[in-house]
Structure 1
Amino acid sequence: MKTFLYTLLLMLAATPCRSALARDPLADGQYLATIGDCASCHTSRNGKPMAGGRVVPTPFGAIPSPNLTPDRETGLGNWSADDFYQALHSGKAHDGTSLYPAFPFTSYTKVTRADSDAMYAYFKSLPAVRNPNTPDTLRWPYRMRSLMATWRLMYFDEGEYRPDPKQNAQWNRGAYLVQGLGHCNECHASRNSFGAMSTDPFLAGGLVPVQNWYAPDLSMGKEGGLAGWSEADVVALLKTGRSQKGSALGPMAEVVLKSTQHLTDADASAIAVYLRSLPERAPVRQRGNAVDAETVAKVGQSIYAKHCAECHGADGRGKGNAYPALAGNISVREPTGINAIRVVLSGGFTPATASNPRPYSMPPFSQVLNDDDAAAVVTYIRHAWSNGASSVSPNDVRAYRSTPGT
C-alpha cells in the first residue's frame, strides 16, 4: 500500500498540470493560444484577430499564415477537434496534407489533447472572418509537399510531452511550456540547410532565419547565454520585456508583447526553473578578431563616450531600470555580433507591457555613424568590461544596413 501511494504521489508531482485550474474551456483555450503566441503569425497587421494572412518568411520562400477563425470556407469551420489535434500533434491538415514546418508542429506535437481541445474550443468561439488563403511563394523544389514525407522521417519526432518522474510538477510544467506551446527552440537553435532545428544541445542559440537576429543560448549554467541570471531576472524579462540583465528586442519584443507578458506568475516561474536546469555549455567559439581589433576598439571607445556612456554608463553597467547594462549582456556577447549591430543602427525598442507601459528606448544611430564608426563602437562594447567577444567589421555593418531584416 505504501508503495502504491508513493508511486501515485510521484506521478502527480510529475504531471505538467496547469498553474491554475481552468475557469472554463474558452478562458483556458484563450490563455493557451496566447502563451502559444498564435497571434504573432495568425494575425496580420491591421487584420482581424486570428484571421491569418500574415506572411511568414523562410529561406525557401514566403508562406502566408492560415485563417484560424471558424469561417467554413476559409478557416476552421469544417475542422473537428480531431483535425485540430492532428495539425498540432502530427503536422497534418484536416485533409491529411503535410504542413510545412514554418508552422511549428515540431514543437506543438508535445501539446496534450486536453490543451488542444481547449484551444480548438476558443478558436471556434471567435467571430467567423472570411479571409481566403493566398498561395505561398516557395521556390522549387521546396513547394513539393511530397518531399515532406522524407523530411518528417529525418527530422520530426511525433509525441506528446511525457513528464519526467524524477522532476517535480513545477519543473515539468516549465519543460512542457518551453518544449511545447512556447516552441522556444524554433528560434533559439541553429538550423541545417533543410530548415530542421538542432536539438542537441537544446536551446543553444542560433540565427533566426531571414529576420537577421541572433536568438541566444538560454542555459543559465556555466558558459550559457543566461549565465549569471537569476530566476527573477528571467521572470522579469518574460513579464515586462526587461530585466537587470537585458531587454527583449527584435523578434523577442513581439513575443513578450503578444505572449509571455500574459503568463501567470506560476508559469513564468516554472519556465525559469526549467531553464535553470539546462546543462552547462562548452565555451562559445567566437570568430577570429580583425588584425587591428585593439586599434578599432580604441576608436570605438571615444565614440561610446560621446554617444552611449550617458545612458549605459562609462562602466557599461547601465542605469537602474531605464537603460540596460552592456557588461555581460547576452545581446552584446552573442557570437555573431548581429544583435549589437542591429541595435546601434536601428535603435533598441522594448515592448510596452502591462507592467512596463512606457519603456525607455534607444534611438537609431544609422544616420549618425558611418560603417567604420558603427563597427568600431560595436567592437569596443564587445571587447570591454570582460565581455571578451569578437570584433565586427565595417563589411558586417554594411551587410545589415542594406538588408535590415524584420
Structure 2
Amino acid sequence: MKRALRRSLALLLLGLVMFAAWVAWMNRSPASALAQALSSTPALIERGAYLARAGNCVACHTARGGQLYTGGRGIETPFGTVFAGNLTPAPRTGLGGWSAEDFWQALHHGRGRDGRLLNPAFPYTAFTKVSRADSDALFAFLQSLPAQERERPPHALRFPYNQPWALAVWRALHFRPGEFLAEPARDAAWNRGAYLVQGLGHCASCHAPRNALGGSLADAALGGGLMPVSGWYAPALGGAREAAELPGLLRSGQSVRGAALGPMAEVVLHSTQYLSEADLQAMAAYLGSLPEPAAVEGLPDRQPAQQAGRASLGARLYTQHCAVCHGEQGDGQGLYPPLADNRTLALPSPANLVKAIRQGGFGASTAPNPRPFGMPPFGHVLSEAEIAAVATHVRLRWGQGAGGVSELQVLQTP
C-alpha cells in the first residue's frame, strides 16, 4: 500500500516537473536580433499612422479625457483590470528608450523591453501576425508623437491571475508566435483582408468565443459570442450578405440592417471609418468567404400563453414609445435605423437589444453620417418586465424566427 502511494506521488511529481519544463520551454526568450536604428521618413510615419488606426490603438491607449496614446485606460476583464501603457516616446514612462526591435518583440512575442511577459489584454495573440515592415512603420509613427510622461497604474488582477507563473501557463496553453501566410489559391485582395482581420484588426478579440481562461476557441473563430464584463454580444462574421453590407457599416457606422452601437461604434469612430475603400472591400472579401452564420432558431416557449401576453404588452408599449421613430411597420420611416430585418433582433442573444432599450446609445460620428440619430434610454421609464415585453414583441415580429425575451434575461444583462 505504501509502495503504491509512493509510486503515485513520484509519478505526480514527475508530471509536475515535466509540465513546468514544458511551460518554461514554451515561454523561452526569443533570440534577439542586433538592434538597428530605424530610418524614419515622412512616408513611413504616414503609413504608421494609418496602421495605428487600422489597429485602433488609440481606443485602449488613451484614457477618457487624456492625451492621445498616453495610456492609463483601465480595461476590465473577468480576471481584474489591466491598464494600457504609454505609447508616446516619453523617456521614463513611454517608448522613449525602446528600439524598433523591442517594439517588434512586443507585437510578435508578447514581451516587454525588459523581457517580461505582457498581459494578453494587449492582443499580441493577433498582432503576432503583423509583418515586420508594418511593425517598423507603426513604431516610426509612435516615435513621432509628442513625448508625454504619464505613469501607468499597476494592474489590478486577482490572485492567481496576478502571478507571473499563471501568465506563463496561459501563454503555454494559448499562444504561439506566428506570421501571416498568404493563401496562394486566393487573390491579393482576399489575402489583404485576411491579414487585416486576423492581425491588426484583431477581430477575434471580440467576435470569437472564449474559454474559462480567456483563450479564444480556434475551432469557432469569429463565431460570435457574449463579450465578458461588458455583456455586449459580438455577432458571428461571415457569409455573402455580411460581405455586401460590411464596407458601408465600417465606413459610416450604418447599414441597411441597423447601426453600430456599443463597442463596435467605438471601433468605427476611431478606426474603420479611416480605412481605404480597397482595405474595406478586402476585409469584406475575406469575411464573405467564411461560413454563413447559422440561422437563429427560437427556443420553444414552455409557457406560450405567458409569451403571448408579454408580446401583446410589448406591442402596446412599442406603439407608445417606439413607433414615433421606428414606425409602426419597423421601417424607420426613412430616417431612423429600421427594425424590420435588423440584425440585432435576430441574434442568438437578446443582450444588445436589451442594452439598447435600457441604456440607449449613439452611433459613431463619421464623414458619411456626421450627426447620427441617438437612441434615448428607456431604463428609467420601463421596468424589467416591460423591457422584456418590448424586446419580445420586436423579436417575434421582425427577428426572423428569434424567440421572445424573459424578464430574467433582462435582469441578467449588465
Same-fold call, TM cutoff 0.5:
yes
The offset of 1:281, in angstroms, is 3.8
2:192–2:279 contact (8 Å) kept in structure 1: yes
Q: Which structure carries more helix by proportion?
A: 2
Whole-Å separation in 2 of the counterparts to 1:88 and 1:288: 47
Determine the structure 1 residue equivalent to 2:56. Answer: 37
Determine the structure 2 residue equivalent to 1:315. Answer: 329
For residue 56 of structure 1, give the secondary structure of its aligned residue in structure 2. strand
Among 60, 71, 75, the alignment partner of 1:52 is 71
Structure 1 386/345 Cα, relative in aligned 2: closer, same or farther at 3 Å? closer
- The reply on whether 1:245 has 2:257 as its aligned counterpart is yes
Superposed counterparts of 1:203-282, under 5 Å: 203-221=222-240, 228-229=241-242, 231=244, 233-282=245-294
**Misfit runs of 4+, over 6 Å:** none
Among 173, 193, 196, the alignment partner of 1:154 is 173
Structure 1 204/138 Cα, relative in aligned 2: closer, same or farther at 3 Å? same
- The reply on whether 1:97 has 2:111 as its aligned counterpart is no
- TM-score, normalising length: structure 2: 0.86
The offset of 1:287, in angstroms, is 5.2
The offset of 1:257, in angstroms, is 0.4
Q: Which runs of 5+ in 2 are unaligned?
A: 1-40
Structure 1 247/34 Cα, relative in aligned 2: closer, same or farther at 3 Å? same
- The reply on whether 1:358 has 2:338 as its aligned counterpart is no
1:191–1:197 contact (8 Å) kept in structure 2: yes
The offset of 1:339, in angstroms, is 0.4
1:240–1:355 contact (8 Å) kept in structure 2: yes
Structure 1 132/348 Cα, relative in aligned 2: closer, same or farther at 3 Å? closer
Give CA-to-partner distance per residue, 1:225-259, whole Å, 9 cap, x none: xxx4452x211110111111121100111110001
2:237–2:293 contact (8 Å) kept in structure 1: no
The offset of 1:178, in angstroms, is 0.5
1:216–1:330 contact (8 Å) kept in structure 2: no
Give CA-to-partner distance per residue, 1:293-352, whole Å, 9 cap, x none: 2221121111112221232222223233x3122223222221121100000011131011
Determine the structure 2 residue equivalent to 1:80. Answer: 99
Whole-Å separation in 1 of the counterparts to 2:300 and 2:154: 43
Determine the structure 1 residue equivalent to 2:354. Answer: 341
Determine the structure 1 residue equivalent to 2:140. Answer: 121
Determine the structure 1 residue equivalent to 2:385. Answer: 372
Determine the structure 2 residue equivalent to 1:393. Answer: 406
For residue 94 of structure 1, give the secondary structure of its aligned residue in structure 2. coil
2:242–2:284 contact (8 Å) kept in structure 1: no
Whole-Å separation in 2 of the counterparts to 1:200 and 1:246: 29
For residue 310 of structure 1, give the secondary structure of its aligned residue in structure 2. helix
The offset of 1:398, in angstroms, is 3.0
Among 98, 106, 125, the alignment partner of 2:125 is 106
The offset of 1:285, in angstroms, is 5.8
Q: How many residues align?
A: 372
Whole-Å separation in 2 of the counterparts to 1:143 and 1:285: 41
Please, what is the CA RMSD of the aligned residues? 1.7
Structure 1 339/209 Cα, relative in aligned 2: closer, same or farther at 3 Å? same
- TM-score, normalising length: structure 1: 0.88
Aligned-pair identity in percent equals: 48
Q: Which runs of 5+ in 1 are unaligned?
A: 1-21, 222-227
Greater Rg over alpha carbons, structure: 2
One-letter amino acid matched to 2:312:
K
